[in-house]
Amino acid sequence: MSRELYLDRDDIDLVAAALHKLADGYRATAARPAPAGGPPVFGQGGRRRAARQAGRCVNLAQRLSRFPSALADEGPRA
Q: What is the pLDDT of residues 3-49, one digit of tens each?
A: 666 677 788 888 889 999 999 988 888 777 666 655 555 556 777 88
What confidence score (pLDDT) does residue 4 get?
64
Phi-psi region of 77 (alpha: psi -120 to 50; beta: other; left: phi over 0): beta
Domain ranges of the chain: 9-32+42-71
What confidence score (pLDDT) does residue 21 get?
92
Give the span between the Cα atoms of 75 and 4, in whole angstroms: 7
User: How many beta carbons lie within 10 A of that of residue 8, not counting itself?
Assistant: 8
What confidence score (pLDDT) does residue 50 get?
85
